[in-house]
Amino acid sequence: MWNEFKQFAMKGNVIDLAVGVIIGAAFGKIVSSLVDNIIMPILALIIGKGHIDFSKLAFGNIKYGLFIQNVVDFFIIAFSIFIVIKFLNRFKKKEEKEEAVVEEESDRTEVLLAEIRDLLKEDKEILRKNETS
């Protein structure tokens, strides 16, 4: 049983997932700092208030402001992650296009080499026919 667990834990997918979670947590802190220290103050300047903080809004013991603050944070974080992924996918598409061009060129080369081979075979057959005549 221990060996099975060790085999499971050492599979690439589990390790990749663990690395992804760790990097995601670190990235989440960066994005949260971006929201708290850059985006929200800019938004406050645009709206005209000194500081935007929904978390203090409450109706008795119901702190709906904190919920609103978390929703706003979520949307800003989700949008930030969307922008980063879109940026990374742009580079990935460029690499895929470059690979496609290289593959297309190698395909053309193979086709041309096959045509040359066929022409050489035809030439040999013509030469044989001429020699026997």
What is the pTM assigned to this prediction?
0.46
SS3 41: helix
Average pLDDT, the chain: 80
Number of DSSP helices (H) and strands (E) in the chain, helices first: 4, 0
**Domain 2-98 CATH superfamily:** Large-conductance mechanosensitive channel, MscL; domain 1 (1.10.1200.120)
Domain residue spans in the chain? 2-98
Those residues whose C-beta lies under 8 Å from the C-beta of residue 40, and which sit 6 or more positions away, are 51, 52
Residue 124 scores a pLDDT above 70? yes
Per-residue pLDDT reduced to its tens digit, 24-71: 888 888 878 887 788 878 878 888 776 677 778 888 888 898 888 888
SS3 83: helix
